[in-house]
Amino acid sequence: MKYWLGLDCGGTFIKAGLYDAEGKELGIARRNLAIVAPQPGWAERDMPALWQTAASVIREVLEHNGIAAAAVQGLGISAQGKGVFLLDKQGQPLGNAILSSDQRALAQVMAWQQAGMPQDLYEQTRQTLWTGHPVSLLRWIKQHQPERYAKIGSVLMAHDYLRYCLTDELACEETNISESNLYQMERGCYDPALAQLLGIGEIMSALPPIVGSAEIAGRVSAEAAALTGLQVGTPVVGGLFDVVSTALCAGLQDETRLNAVMGTWSVTSGITATIASDSGYPFVYGRHAEQGKYIVHEASPTSAANLEWFCQQWGLQDYAQLNRWVADLPKAGSQLLFAPFLYGSNAGLGLSASFYGIQAFHQREHLVQAIFEGVVFCHMTHLNRMRQRFPQAKALRVTGGLLNRLPGCKCLPTSAAYRLSSRRWRKPAV
């Protein structure tokens, strides 16, 4: 038998999945991923610890299913986008990775906005400017950690780093790096003029070559094989930005379907073959895995991460119990509101989370209900915006890990007027 392995590195979990030639899932191994917050508004990840965790879930899924290393034909990685994973000039991690939910670059982004920088960039990159973008974080590091900036040898994103750990080969995968603001969207390549405009022109020498999603970017090294249980020489493909991999698994092929992702982030995405220049709104575009297509998406860190934070504070682990609490309360019967902006929002820079309307009679059940409603409301906000870009969309596919925990997705079709279906399988990365 032949098998393929997918690694999914998200904001809160990392998972390894094993699949046969028909795409049937044989097993999943998963671990929580810690977010390091050394200062308010910062969101980092220990890079060596991430690699060790990734290696452990790969080994676990192989051993648990009794799969010989030689049976694995290839591996691909799906991962969260944006943020920066930096290596020094010797190829070693240069401090912690900075995640896309990090807000340390807020002042820089606000200054760029006041100077009209987003408008100058958009026609070239089809991206907005916000705190978690690689360019925002690189500019912040240049200003506030110049010694670290001078040591940068390679600029990567999450799946690029994990692929490097597996293969010792440096590359940036196209669906992810295309949303870095260092990539000219219509020409499909890096543009030094963009980096120069953003005040980080010297960073171009640290950008590895771009590889395609399905392109073999390297092969498993002897060191990685010893840690993971994979066979030396196993092919590793470029992989995917997780928003793109979810859209693929949701069956999006044209402008008649949209995908709502209830994961760490709230995301609504669609697929198109054209860039609309007259939409009146700066929709975010990225390169799709299929040639000649783009992914368009609205997103914010307003989904599962907020619920995970609450559960950690209260020591809650039984999601079925949370669902029962909410089911026992009158729907939309409380005046208690929750703004799920613990890690920011695309509604405005510097917005903070809060409970509003809390009174003495409110209990944990009411707080959980408010979180559910706040998360669903943010999803609806993104969906309504995307309906303007995709007026032909008739179906909505709902995916993501939170779908298994949060019954609130049932609220979506009420105002969306779409045929709703859910995809509960986990997304393969190849």
Among residues 221, 244, 267, which one ends one of the domains? Answer: 244
User: What is residue 414's predicted lDDT score, i.e. its pLDDT?
Assistant: 42
> Taking each helix axis from N to C terminus, what angle separates 158-167 and 47-64, rounded to the nearest 10 degrees?
70
Supply the DSSP string of 68-127, one letter for each residue.
-GGGEEEEEEEE--SSBEEEETTS-B-S-EE-TT--TTHHHHHHHHHTTHHHHHHHHH--
Query: Does 212 share its domain with 361?
Result: no
Query: If you compute the radius of gyration of the chain from its CA atoms, what whole number of angstroms results?
Result: 21
Among residues 201, 219, 244, which one ends one of the domains? Answer: 244
The residues of the chain scoring below 70 in pLDDT are 401-430
CATH of the domain at 206: 3.30.420.40
Burial of 197 (0-12, 13-18, 19+ CB in 10 A): middle
User: What is residue 305's predicted lDDT score, i.e. its pLDDT?
Assistant: 84
- Distance from C-alpha of 102 to C-alpha of 229, rounded to nearest angstrom: 34
User: What is residue 75's predicted lDDT score, i.e. its pLDDT?
Assistant: 98
Residue range 54-100, pLDDT digits in tens: 999 999 999 999 999 999 999 999 999 999 999 999 999 999 999 99
Q: How many domains does the chain have?
A: 2
User: What is residue 310's predicted lDDT score, i.e. its pLDDT?
Assistant: 92
Query: Does 221 share its domain with 280?
Result: no
- Distance from C-alpha of 260 to C-alpha of 245, rounded to nearest angstrom: 13
Asked if 146 and 199 touch (Cβ cutoff 8 Å), the reply is no
User: What is residue 404's predicted lDDT score, i.e. its pLDDT?
Assistant: 58
Residue range 124-148, pLDDT digits in tens: 999 999 899 999 999 999 999 999 9
- Distance from C-alpha of 155 to C-alpha of 207, rounded to nearest angstrom: 6
Q: How far is CA 277 from CA 114, 124, 176, 243, 294, in A?
A: 23, 11, 22, 22, 14
- Distance from C-alpha of 430 to C-alpha of 413, rounded to nearest angstrom: 31
User: What is residue 356's predicted lDDT score, i.e. its pLDDT?
Assistant: 96
Query: Does 173 share its domain with 273?
Result: no
Q: Where are the alpha helices (DSSP H) in 103-233?
A: 106-114, 117-125, 134-144, 146-150, 158-167, 174-177, 192-197, 222-228
User: What is residue 366's predicted lDDT score, i.e. its pLDDT?
Assistant: 94
Query: Does 258 share its domain with 178?
Result: no
Query: Does 197 share its domain with 334?
Result: no
- Residue 142, token pair as written in the block: 């240049």
Type of residue at 124: Q
User: What is residue 405's predicted lDDT score, i.e. its pLDDT?
Assistant: 57
Query: Does 280 share its domain with 216?
Result: no
State the virtual CA torsion across 207, 177, 159, 425 in degrees, nearest 10. -170
User: What is residue 422's predicted lDDT score, i.e. its pLDDT?
Assistant: 47
Query: Does 240 share its domain with 261?
Result: no
pTM of the model: 0.89
Hey, CA dihedral for 79, 81, 84, 89, is it positive or negative? positive
